Structure 1
Amino acid sequence: MKLLIARMNHETNTFSPVATPLEAFGRHGPSYGEAAWRENKGMQTAMAAFIDAAEREHAQIVTPVSASANPSGPVAAAAYDAICNAIVNAAAGCDAVLLDLHGAMVAENSNDGEGDLLARVRAVLPNAPIAVALDLHGNVTQKMIDHADVIVSFKTYPHVDMYETGAHAARLLFDLIHRRARPVIAWRQPPLLTHTLRSATAEGAMKRAVDAARAAEAEGMLAVSVLSGFSLADIAAPCISVVVVGDGDRAAADAVAQRIAQQIWDERDDFFYRSAPLADSVAQAAKLAHGADKPVLLLDHGDNCMSGGTCDTMDLLEEVLKQGLEGVVSGPLCDPEAVAAMHAAGAGATVTLAVGNKLASEAVKPQRPLTVTGVIHALTDGEYTISGPTYTGQRAFMGRAAVLDIGAATLVVTERTHEPWDLGVFESVGVDPRRARFLLLKSRMYCRPVFVPIAAALVECDSRGVTSSDYGLFRFEHVERPVYPLDAGTEWKA
């Protein structure tokens, strides 16, 4: 048995000005062939689970490409074509396909990145089973449903079950191949734009929806996925979805999809997040720090790296300094110009720099950079190994990094946008985050498994960046209307 296994991951924020060329998909671009296999083998990715399952089947494995980029603006057409062509060109002669996809990719030449890829693979292999693992924030489309035999998404956010999701999808694929099961897919998509901060699976309506999905699996469905969608993609339906894989009985699968989707719609208000004014959030953090022996986390989810943020919005840092907070550690802030200037000046030098607010977008009005004076404490290549629990063991690349001490705050500045997955973001540049009084992170959720345990408290801060929870900042032109909450009177029945 010859299996095609590949990875193509990108969550596209169509409002983000951060470019997504081919080189964004890895340290210097995607990995191909044997390098793609090595990049995933032993890791916690869905593709790693595919490889392990295929090896247990003693299959011949073809790994044409592994391509994963941080969320950012629309994928360059040349990049999208290069990745898709690598997969499609390797498909001929394969008996089955396992794809590790995100589900919310938008390219310059495709509003349905995954659906268009699956259609091309299906055209080459009209009779081969295709199984797909998706991120919980995938935007499901009819084309994805039409051209896949198995679809399974993550059930956790923060995401810690990537490998388990891949193992689940692979198990169903081999059950299909060996005729132990007959997967059929049903789905529902309420017209509901969810806020990412309301897609955490440990609480609220999202937890109840995922609990319902797990219960349906326990009652006989092969797989039930609740995908909250990624609403900062201006496409037809960046909405929440329920995807059910049944065993031969499409009507039964459809009934489960209908029931869970109706439950979600009935609780739609619980998927809406209301932000506090930024000044109030900072004042709250100052109060929480009194008497605390651990840092207070301020999460700048309005400029969240893993939703396409520029990581150079200075709103939160400026407000923190305005209110007189000290003992601040902030980062990673993305500013290649500032990093270049500090590397040129050298460690120990005192410099005056304009930092941040340099990437303008149509959604958010540009601001002036923040001018700061400080001492350069460290200069590094910005590389470290993630200790977990997310993407454990993978090598992380921030681009070159520099540490600037401006007195009240220590700034970690990098050449690339980078999610604070790990304490290594700071420890790799000689900064101990545990000793901060206030820790400002360009993050929404992924930082929490690592940083919440070392913190005294957490405050969510909504700066006016391109990942803000304020939908009023964004001009949605392609979303099908009516849709909730943009249209308060939206009606729907599963």
Structure 2
Amino acid sequence: MRIIFAGFQHETNTFAPDLADDAAFAHGGGFPGLCRGDAVIDALVPTANIPGAGFLQAAREAGAEVVPVLWCAACPSGFVARDTYERIATEIVDGIRTNLPADAIYLDLHGAMCAQNVPDGEGELLARVRAVTDIPVIVSLDLHANVTQRMLDLADALVAFRTYPHVDMAETGARAFHLLTERLDRGAPFAKAARRIPYLIPICWQATESQPSKGIYERLAQIEADQNLPSLSWTMGFAAADFAECSPVVWAYGDTPAAAEAAAEAVYQDVLAAEPAFAGPLYDADAAVAQALALVRQGIRPVVIADAQDNPGAGGSSDTMGLLKALIAHQATNAAIGVIYDPTAAAAAHKAGVGAEITLDLGGRAPIAGDSPLHATFTVEALSNGRLHTFGPYYGEREMDLGASACLRIGGVRVVVGSAKAQLADQAMFRYVGIDPTAQDILVVKSAIHFRADFRPIAGEILTAVAPGAMMMRTTDWHWQNLPDELRMMPGGPTFTDTRPATTA
């Protein structure tokens, strides 16, 4: 087999202020930066938890020839910049055209990309690929993909993660390879069926270690196995993209239309029945810290607080100060928070040196409602060049570069400050500036769910906070404009028609 391979990943929060530009894809946001040709294979090492890495490993074991064009990802943010999207998409399509003939194409995509000029980034890319070739195209997708009809129509098969935290990304890439070989062996397209779920699911209730998601994915896998289906997927969607096809979706591939329809319908009914169960407690910043302190007094530690609305893995700026201000106000001790994205503060700490006291405005630079910088005096406890090695289940074993970094202390709170954005989902992102997360009473992480993969084993309790940020845990808190009238804005909540602002004559 000769397979052309490309990857272009971005999760777009259309309500977030920052654009994903050329520099964002060059850095990678915690993943490898943009790479081309054989450098793709070098970057996506088999030990990394990345779909493309799993695909490459499976292809190597099968003796297939893989021709890499490019692979890139950027930290989730607002729209992908128009010029950036056009440059990368054009390079992928030109690379595919140049490397034909081939037996098939594999694309490592996210599924929730919106560019300034293209609301359905993956659907548009697939359309451009189809304009140059009709060979089979297999695509791996994130569990948070907003799968569009265009994507379903243009790909021979789409296959999605089944875990959140996404600990099965490489496994999904391997499943994509086996689906590709099955498609080639058949010599004809799969029968397919899809169902669009009529409600949005906030990401804080999507964890697959918990119900109802855990049970639905277990049943999905059982249906796929029992019915010997080529593939069955359910994406819970990314409820931060204001376009008409933002929603969870179930889809199936089968030997016959009836088999595909039956499988998709079974999972669809499971998701409908689970709607009331997508719920749980949310705490504002003060309540989260007060609850954490109460738990610590009971001997429960460390208490991990998810600063979920400022999660850079979902478009957050990673610099809001709500929870840090609450820790200080409640005189918390033996507490740590990270990673605060503030290159200016990091540079000031490096200039002052370890042991120095510095007075500055920390964070609060993004235009986020209810947030402002923290003006205070800090002690510089540790400095780092930002290079660290992750080992946890989410990022896998890989090198990460957060740029010039520092550990600043104010009272009993230590603050990890970095010069690049990446979701705090690995204990190494505390340890690299000298903080042992297992020795803390309270940990605040700029993450919503992914941190659980590495922190659940050490956590005494986990709380989800709704401090200022760009990723709302109540999807009704945004001002939407482009959703379908009948879509429910929350599980069991009002429809878009019910919440849409009244128009004036």
Query: Shorter-chain TM-score category?
Result: over 0.9
Provide the residue aligned with 1:123 in structure 2.
Answer: 131
Q: Residue 233 of structure 2 contacts residue 252 of structure 2 at CA under 8 Å; is this kept in 1? A: yes
Corresponding residue pairs, total: 486
Q: Residue 282 of structure 2 contacts residue 463 of structure 2 at CA under 8 Å; is this kept in 1? A: no
Paired with 2:247 and 2:370, the residues of 1 have a C-alpha distance of: 29
AA at the equivalent of 1:392 = G
Deviation at 1:181, TM superposition (A): 7.9
Is 1:430 the counterpart of 2:437 in the alignment? no
Q: Residue 358 of structure 1 contacts residue 366 of structure 1 at CA under 8 Å; is this kept in 2? A: no
Q: Deviations over 1:22-48 (max 9, x none)?
A: 221243751111111111131232111
Q: Residue 318 of structure 2 contacts residue 340 of structure 2 at CA under 8 Å; is this kept in 1? A: yes
Deviation at 1:464, TM superposition (A): 2.3
Q: Residue 70 of structure 1 contacts residue 305 of structure 1 at CA under 8 Å; is this kept in 2? A: yes
2:472 is matched with which residue: 464, 468, 471?
468
Q: Runs in 1 of length 4+ with deviation above 4 angstroms?
A: none
Is 1:102 the counterpart of 2:82 in the alignment? no
Is 1:78 the counterpart of 2:83 in the alignment? yes
AA at the equivalent of 1:67 = C
What does residue range 295-310 of structure 1 map to in structure 2 within 5 Å?
295-310=302-317
Provide the residue aligned with 1:270 in structure 2.
Answer: 277
Provide the residue aligned with 2:502 in structure 1.
Answer: none
AA at the equivalent of 1:474 = W
Q: Deviations over 1:250-300 (max 9, x none)?
A: 222022212321321233222345523332222111110015274211111
Q: Deviations over 1:323-376 (max 9, x none)?
A: 22111111111112211222222222210111111100xxx4253311121211
Q: Residue 5 of structure 1 contacts residue 51 of structure 1 at CA under 8 Å; is this kept in 2? A: no
AA at the equivalent of 2:272 = W
Q: Deviations over 1:368-417 (max 9, x none)?
A: 31112121122212111211212322211212211111122111111122
Residue 236 to residue 272, structure 1, CA distance change in 2 (3 Å): farther
Paired with 1:116 and 1:159, the residues of 2 have a C-alpha distance of: 25
What does residue range 310-329 of structure 1 map to in structure 2 within 5 Å?
310-329=317-336
1:243 is matched with which residue: 236, 251, 272?
251
SS of 2:359's equivalent?
A: strand
Where structure 2 has 5 or more consecutive residues not aligned to the other structure, the ranges are 498-505
Residue 17 to residue 273, structure 1, CA distance change in 2 (3 Å): farther
SS of 1:244's equivalent?
A: strand
Q: Superposition RMSD on alpha carbons, in Å?
A: 1.9
Provide the residue aligned with 1:342 in structure 2.
Answer: 349
Q: Residue 370 of structure 2 contacts residue 468 of structure 2 at CA under 8 Å; is this kept in 1? A: no
Provide the residue aligned with 2:263 in structure 1.
Answer: 256
AA at the equivalent of 2:315 = G
Where structure 1 has 5 or more consecutive residues not aligned to the other structure, the ranges are none
Paired with 2:217 and 2:452, the residues of 1 have a C-alpha distance of: 20
Provide the residue aligned with 2:500 in structure 1.
Answer: none
Q: Residue 394 of structure 2 contacts residue 454 of structure 2 at CA under 8 Å; is this kept in 1? A: no
Paired with 2:273 and 2:62, the residues of 1 have a C-alpha distance of: 44
Provide the residue aligned with 1:171 in structure 2.
Answer: 178
Provide the residue aligned with 2:481 in structure 1.
Answer: 477
Deviation at 1:420, TM superposition (A): 1.6
Residue 210 to residue 111, structure 1, CA distance change in 2 (3 Å): same
Q: Residue 14 of structure 1 contacts residue 233 of structure 1 at CA under 8 Å; is this kept in 2? A: yes
Is 1:385 the counterpart of 2:389 in the alignment? yes
Provide the residue aligned with 1:19 in structure 2.
Answer: 19
Deviation at 1:171, TM superposition (A): 0.5
AA at the equivalent of 2:459 = A
Provide the residue aligned with 1:8 in structure 2.
Answer: 8
Is 1:488 the counterpart of 2:463 in the alignment? no
Q: Residue 386 of structure 1 contacts residue 421 of structure 1 at CA under 8 Å; is this kept in 2? A: no
Residue 181 to residue 164, structure 1, CA distance change in 2 (3 Å): farther
AA at the equivalent of 1:377 = E
Paired with 1:416 and 1:280, the residues of 2 have a C-alpha distance of: 29
Q: Residue 398 of structure 1 contacts residue 416 of structure 1 at CA under 8 Å; is this kept in 2? A: yes
Give me the TM-score of the superposition, normalised by structure 2.
0.92
Paired with 1:229 and 1:293, the residues of 2 have a C-alpha distance of: 34
Provide the residue aligned with 1:61 in structure 2.
Answer: 66
Paired with 1:129 and 1:382, the residues of 2 have a C-alpha distance of: 42
Paired with 1:452 and 1:57, the residues of 2 have a C-alpha distance of: 36
AA at the equivalent of 1:419 = Q
Is 1:402 the counterpart of 2:379 in the alignment? no
Provide the residue aligned with 1:153 in structure 2.
Answer: 160
Q: Residue 156 of structure 2 contacts residue 189 of structure 2 at CA under 8 Å; is this kept in 1? A: no
SS of 1:124's equivalent?
A: coil
Residue 288 to residue 180, structure 1, CA distance change in 2 (3 Å): farther
Provide the residue aligned with 2:378 in structure 1.
Answer: 374
SS of 1:64's equivalent?
A: strand
Mean alpha-carbon deviation: is it higher for 137-146 or for 418-427?
Answer: 418-427
Is 1:444 the counterpart of 2:448 in the alignment? yes
